[in-house]
Structure 1
Amino acid sequence: MTSALPRPILIAGPTASGKSALALRMAEALNGIIVNTDALQVYDCWQVLTARPPAEDLARAPHRLYGHVGYAQPYSVGNWLREVERLLASDRPLIFVGGTGLYFQALTQGLAEIPATPAPVRAEGDALLAAEGLDVFRHYLAQHDPDLFARMDTQNPARLQRAWEVHRATGRALSAWQAETGPPLVAEDAALTLSLVSDPDWLGQRIDRRLGMMLEEGALEECRAILPRWQPSLPASRALGAAEFTAALRGELTLDDALARARTATRQYAKRQRTWFRSKMRSWHQVESESLTRKGRIEDIISMA
């Protein structure tokens, strides 16, 4: 009789909250495998800009689904779930870590099988966004998918355009597709779920420091390498700081202005992450990020696994 597989560990938290360091310590202690649960760390062009685990971390524990997707390569949460499914038979604990709430939601609640968006519809959406901004999608969804519109983040361009594309391409509301969602790959009650909670001021200071360090470590050079192929509408181009540093390379902003804008944009993104986690992960174990530096705290968390 074979023993049961170890239960997965899920670590969600806003950017710069210390979740990757916690995952690494847990992976070392439990002989686990770290699985990327961040929509931007999948891209091979952004090592520094997305704070992908460095070589020394990769040497300490196995990491999966990091940096394996090309800049212009189509990739979605559905692609990610299919890759995750192949990892679930491991006899080692899988430690999912990241800040993309949609990935965690799809992992623990399932994902509807929605047809891919045709290229002409995607191009039409890109053109509408450039010409009219987010309001064109808001008005459309308020009329054609009011259930989804009432509960979605209406400040998120990617989510708004995606919902518009689904209805435009299929004639059905995204909420209708979601109602047909299949079973999840990982049930929340079968996993150890950890949500990192961070004081906004503490987190903001860490964000500011980290962006400055990213410039010192080569973030601008990563943007320079992408500059000839830069397409702002691509999902990979949503990496925090990419638009601002690219603008600096084009001479549209000074580097100081670009850094200041990147810091503001990253703080705003972290705020949206915190709002998502508070709303969607109320039943998860809440872990204060600041407490992770306290002696014995990480050991206490590891003992919960």
Structure 2
Amino acid sequence: MGPTAAGKTQVAVTLARSLPVEIVSVDSSLVYRHMNIGTAKPDPQTLKVVPHHLIDLVEPNETYSAGRFRDDALTVMREITERGHIPLLVGGTMLYFKALREGLAELPRADPALRVVIDGMAAEQGWPALHRILSQVDPETAARLSPNDAQRIQRALEVYYLTDRPLSALLKKPQYVYFPYRAITLALVPSDRERLNQRIAQRFEDMLELGLIGEVRWLRRHYALDLSMPSMRCVGYRQVWKYLEGEYTLELMRERAIAATRQLAKRQLTWLRAMEGVTTFDCFGESVAEAVLAHLRAALAG
């Protein structure tokens, strides 16, 4: 696990050269087909050399959930172990890790009428205002959400209004969870946040050089998309969309995309700090891949 731009893929590929592993992506953006540059999807050569799973599962105008991820992950993990290999789960979508290990709480179904009301409130007041409302009734959930995370703010308020209980409390409900594996939980974390910020900025510049704007233009031309769709809420895509709409200048688009990615990394690190039993490695440490490999070999031998 680890924040965006921590170098997870590089370490995973190094591990795959020395251990009988197959990589299982734990990334909510890599599930979308044709979204390659902005998601930092492994290149075709890497995908050819090292088996990857749970990449390119749905079209950009479709949705994908934590529940579906759990089902898909358990399926491919069983197939990997039946081949005599080890599933190596790699990514930064912490909710997916949590869903896989701890299961999903039983929550009320979506209420279309209530969502219309919440959307109306957002149209009048803005999502940051609804985020402030959420912070009053469910501060724990609000703390891990961006003030502009419309989808999750909407769902958290919907659950509260339907049950009169905060989403964070319902998610803690004890339950039997099927997870027939011994997990060795590792994370790459930055010893220097500013250095990670610089890496994030450089990576976005690299994405622009590789043709991110053209990728978003192609997606808009081939799919009926809008900014409310989960795929277009991925960091980078939303900002490029607004640039193509003329809302942002090129420079403002850069600034907003980099800032959004830094906020994503901050939220990922917040999730990580709340997790127990995680062995951490400095993502800027010398020979970090070798250090992780040595740790894994010792753990597997035990």
What TM-score results when the alignment is normalised by the length of structure 2? Answer: 0.85
Q: 1:60 aligns with which of 46, 49, 67?
A: 49
1:80 aligns with 69
1:23 aligns with 12
Contact (CA 8 Å) 2:226, 2:232: kept in 1 or not?
yes
Alignment map for 1:73-112 (pairs within 5 Å) = 73-89=62-78, 90-91=80-81, 92-112=85-105
Letter in 1 for 2:232: S
CA distances 1:133-185 after superposition (whole Å, capped 9, x unpaired): 23225425634x56x55x74253524322211233456664345424453344
CA distance in 1, matches of 2:178, 2:202: 37
Across the two proteins, how many residue pairs are aligned to each other?
289
Q: 1:136 aligns with which of 130, 134, 143?
A: 130
CA distance in 2, matches of 1:194, 1:70: 31
What TM-score results when the alignment is normalised by the length of structure 1? Answer: 0.84
3-state secondary structure, aligned to 2:34: coil
Contact (CA 8 Å) 2:189, 2:281: kept in 1 or not?
yes
Q: 2:235 aligns with which of 225, 228, 240?
A: 240
Offset at residue 15 of structure 1 (A): 0.4
Offset at residue 87 of structure 1 (A): 2.0
Letter in 2 for 1:249: L
Find out whether 1:13 has 2:2 as its counterpart: yes
Between the aligned residues of both structures, percent identity stands at 33
Offset at residue 116 of structure 1 (A): 4.0
Find out whether 1:194 has 2:207 as its counterpart: no
Contact (CA 8 Å) 1:194, 1:284: kept in 2 or not?
yes
Unaligned segments of structure 2, at least 5 residues: none
CA distances 1:242-288 after superposition (whole Å, capped 9, x unpaired): 1211111122222222112211221122122122212x224200111
CA distance in 1, matches of 2:145, 2:2: 21
Find out whether 1:203 has 2:211 as its counterpart: no
Alignment map for 1:1-305 (pairs within 5 Å) = 12-89=1-78, 90-91=80-81, 92-132=85-125, 133-139=127-133, 142-143=136-137, 145=138, 148-149=140-141, 152-155=143-146, 157=149, 158-168=151-161, 173-175=166-168, 177-186=170-179, 190-198=182-190, 199-227=192-220, 229-278=224-273, 280-291=274-285, 293=287, 296-304=290-298, 305=300
CA distance in 2, matches of 1:213, 1:101: 25
Q: In the superposition, relative to structure 1, how do residues 126 and 64 fare at CA in structure 2: closer, same or farther (>3 Å)?
A: farther
Unaligned segments of structure 1, at least 5 residues: 1-11
CA distance in 1, matches of 2:77, 2:207: 33
Letter in 2 for 1:37: V
CA distance in 1, matches of 2:18, 2:120: 50
CA distance in 2, matches of 1:131, 1:293: 52
CA distance in 2, matches of 1:182, 1:295: 36
CA distances 1:78-132 after superposition (whole Å, capped 9, x unpaired): 1111111212323221111111111111122221133542444445444433432
3-state secondary structure, aligned to 1:49: coil
Contact (CA 8 Å) 2:11, 2:289: kept in 1 or not?
no
> Alignment RMSD, CA only?
2.6
Larger displacement relative to structure 2 (51-60 or 246-255): 246-255
Q: In the superposition, relative to structure 1, how do residues 220 and 164 fare at CA in structure 2: closer, same or farther (>3 Å)?
A: same
